A and B are shown apart, each in its own frame.
Chain A
Amino acid sequence: METAPQLALLFVVLSNFAVLGTTRLSTCIRAVALQGFLLGLLPLLLASRMSPHLVFLAVGTIAVKAVVLPWFLMWAIREAAVRREVEPLIGYISSLLLGAIALGLAFAIAGRLPLPPEHDPLLVPASLTTVMIGLIVLTTRRKALTQVVGYLMLENGIYLFGLTQAESVPFLLEIGVLLDVFVGVFIMGIVVFHINREFDSLDSARLTELSD
């Protein structure tokens, strides 16, 4: 199990735990950027032969997920002048343990899924782990910005799952998904900025308050 794609997948899983364990927003964003970079490399590492399609996909993914979106989130932190801490609803230790449970579940479920056998054995567990940890981040962090990070991780997990079918998914579809994510995060970033202007805080719990 020493192949390059497996090491990359291992680092994807580790970056998930980095997001769960860190106290700083910027570390969160850097971990997601690293994840995006690895995700961009993976199609190249997994492919048996190079094709223009794969190279375009890799370059596009790295550009959007590892450069543009992290830069944009960093910009949002700076412009909205939010506090640099994560402020989770449940503690860091419980988050880490939940993450470990998600990891175990992912490996247990991945073994039972009826999937075509010719993909890397770590790919599906890593993708399920990323989806579940993305969900944990999305639900247990108060800040709107960390929720964007959770959404990105969720999407990264789905992208990983899509790699099992990398040969058969049309190029246009993948570019379309990438564009959707880009636009989604962009809109969320602007919304976050406006929430901050309106409420002087990015605490999403305050959005439930009613007032005139």
Chain B
Amino acid sequence: MSVGVLVALAILFLVAPALPGITIRTKSLLTGRRGAPMLQLYYDLWKLLRKGIVYSSTTTWVFRAAPVVLVASLLVASLLLPLGGRPAPLRFAGDLVAFAGLLALGRFALVLAALDTGSSFEGMGASREVTVATFAEPALFLGFVALVLATQEVSLSGMMGPSLDEAWQGAGAPLTLVGISMFVLLLAENSRVPIDDPATHLELTMIHEVMILDHSGPDLALILYGSALKFALFGALVVNIFAPRTEVGVAVSLLLLVLGLATISIAVGIVESVTARLRLPRVPQLLVGSAVLSILGIILLLG
């Protein structure tokens, strides 16, 4: 394990809370407002960490465990993802299944906690979150299958390593399709606009936000940090697919990673400014559409 990998991981963990800030700032600028400071989430996290926790008397240990499980599973998942063109610290054949599984574990914990509160609103949010995930996960795996076919590697570090550079030479079109599909998944998995609106606070329309209504203090800080980290992880996934990795030094690749993450956050901000939130029945349609893009990529790679 080289020092570069550890530095990349540290950067990912540190930069993650800034990404939603960049998205919000982009949205504000595009809609003619000043917007919150870019580092607002850091202030929020610091404020929440100093507060006390209130637990509802109807909740059990499931509710208390959820934030920890969420952040822990995301931290382990980030160990599996190659960053800045360097192989991940933890890699083995088929680790892409473990990656998807860890993301699912974090979501499962959050959904259980939401159900544990016994609030009907949170139950509704949990059911919606799972519905979206049911459609997002097959699309994620189809994208991975396309990458496996393009590079003939079965680990995340392998398929996003030098062999992806070679694959871009011969199969640019299918890989672009997979990249676009992954970007739509990033929007879905992180509850961004066409699927969910992170800014809304009306219980009937929110998905992710409604599940965390009962969390407070350091627990809420953990969940907010977890959401930011998940955004950064998916952002790094998209950056890995698109960014060229050939023969660049450690410093350049780290710079590329940070710039890539910032670009993704700005792109999300632009998408959020120009599209309206979809009606809930239309959400699966969008996700199946993105899965079809990956299927098209797979067929092109096979053909």
A residues apposed to B, CB below 8 Å: 1-2, 6-7, 10, 13-14, 17, 21, 23, 92-93, 96-97, 99-100, 103-104, 107, 111, 121-122, 125
* Interface residue from A2, A97, A103, A121 paired with B172 (Cβ < 8 Å): A2
Q: Judge whether B303 is part of the interface by a CB distance below 8 angstroms.
A: yes
B173 touches A21 (CB 8 A): no
Q: A1-B170, A1-B173, A2-B172 are in contact. Are A103 and B285 (CB under 8 A)?
A: no
Provide the residues of chain B in CB contact with A7, threshold 8 Å: 173
A13 near B285 with CB under 8 A, answer no
Report the count of interface residues on B (CB-CB < 8 A): 16
Contact A13:B296 (CB < 8 A) given known A23-B282, A125-B303: yes
Interface 1/0 per residue, B67-80 and A, CB below 8 Å: 00000000000000
Point out the residue from B292, B300, B302 that lies within 8 Å of A99, measured CB to CB.
B292
* B positions within 8 Å CB-CB of A: 170-173, 282, 284-285, 288-289, 292, 295-296, 299-300, 302-303
Closest A residue to B173 by beta carbon equals A10
Contacts of A99 in B (CB 8 A): 292
What are 11 sample pairs from A and B whose C-beta atoms fall under 8 A apart?
A2-B172, A13-B296, A21-B289, A23-B282, A93-B288, A96-B285, A96-B289, A96-B292, A107-B303, A122-B303, A125-B303
Chain A interface, >50% SS class: helix
- Would A103 and B303 count as touching, CB distance under 8 A? no
Q: Is the CB of A93 within 8 A of B300?
A: no
**B interface majority secondary structure:** helix
User: In the assembly, what is the distance between CA of A121 and CA of B289, in Å?
Assistant: 25
* C-alpha spacing A182/B183, complex, angstroms: 40
> Closest CB of chain B to A70's CB: distance in Å?
22
CB of B173 within 8 A of CB of A121, answer no
Is A92 a contact partner of B299 (Cβ separation < 8 A)? no
Chain B residues, Cβ within 8 Å of A10: 173, 300
Residue pair A1, B299 in contact (C-beta under 8 Å)? no
CB-based closest 3 A-B pairs:
A92-B285, A93-B288, A100-B295
